[in-house]
Structure 1
Amino acid sequence: MGESSEGSTLEAAALPKPPVAGIASLAESTHLWNELSERIPADIAEQPSTLVGGSLHSYQLHGLCWLVGMRRAGLNGILADDMGLGKTVQVVAYMLQVRAEQGGCVPSQPFLVAVPASVLSHWAGEIRRWAPSLQLLLYAGPAVKREEAFVRSVLPAARGKARIDVVLTTHDVLAGKTDAPRLRRLAYEALVVDEGHRLKNAACKLHAHLRAYRCRQRLLLTGRARCSNSLMEMRNICNHPFI
């Protein structure tokens, strides 16, 4: 009985003690981040009047406030609501809010939205449904169609002679050898990448191309369910150089 007690004491004494300085530093950084996170969301009481497809849920309005606040603070961000909670409409509302705050000044820079090909039509439909006032350029499809879009819309916009509010394209097109130089003729209000978990490391081809685009803000969209099986994957996304 005595030996067991002594052994337990020795074993406990041998365990490394957590560094007090490290804990204090973590507590301080957590406090500062919590304070910052409370200050970031913009004070927006209602959705933009130009958002006409329906009404935002309260959490979506909070997401809009956060996106706008991050922009005003000069920060990039990750919108990681669960799948099915309407990240798309939050981004659409965000684009409309930015346009409203700009007061219709011309020329204005478009938003660049890159999505997987499988959800391209969904994004196009949501933008047209919720924000018909936005001039949408769907830069996708066959090479001939993309070239026509470049000549008809991108080139004039780059010269300040045409208006584009949103350029919607796919990950693959954005990184294409022919299309990337075309799309990089424009500077963008924000670069929005749907399914941002695809940017798991800085060495991926898509990441290298995305870094070459000129934009005021970068936003990644991802669903938590995609990262629920790997905390390391989520950590990599949060620490990604793109953000």
Structure 2
Amino acid sequence: MGPAARSCAGAGGTTMSRAGEAIRRHHGKIRAILSQHVTALREGRAEADPQALAAFLQEDLLPHAVGEEKALYPAVDPLIKAYGKATATMSVDHEFIEGSIRRIVQAVQEWAQAEEAEKATRFATLRDLALQLEAVLTLHLEKEERVYLPLFEEHLPEEEQERVLHAMHEAHGHESEQALDVRALPPRERHPLIMRTFDALKPGQSFILVNDHDPKPLYYQFQFERAGEFTWEYLEEGPEVWRVRIGRA
């Protein structure tokens, strides 16, 4: 099959495909959501929600970057070699974005745990980190849409574009698995939060529990209260950190 059927004209006269448009739509979605969070933080609005921001970054933005690294960039790379430049600079962007996400998530945790007198300072730090990420992400997405997607749509067959889009979706689903780090929480708050997180899962979904000791008592609680409903898989077993994938059967 030849190049994909085009739906409309893009930048520089390049026409756009269904897969390319799907990627652009997701770019628009994550731009809009991040902008809403950043505006609320910057202006100190009542609806500013640092926890929701951290969840969006970990569950949507980071998996989007992973999906591109695993599927879109390998497809575009030979096209860049033939028609343009290498993808290395874009991967550097993703490294920076991933680092920013880690810093923001850490800042959210520090803000949530801070004494009331320190809340404003922690919030200002979080706001500045979010603004920095917004600027980098805006530029990163602009480069993808002006350089990569036109090549992707113009020179890849339609079935290959669809394969790349499907692979990106698969990577998104895998990498969006939530990590629940309870190490900073008081012991009495850990099990209730873990059980609430589990109860919110749909069948087949899971999350990664991060703990500072072997959560064997939690396993027994699951056996007693959720017998036959859960899966339990150790990913890391100490001596300082334990990671367990807990899923709904």
Q: Same fold (TM over 0.5)?
A: no
User: Which protein shows a greater Rg?
Assistant: 1
TM-score by length of 1: 0.26
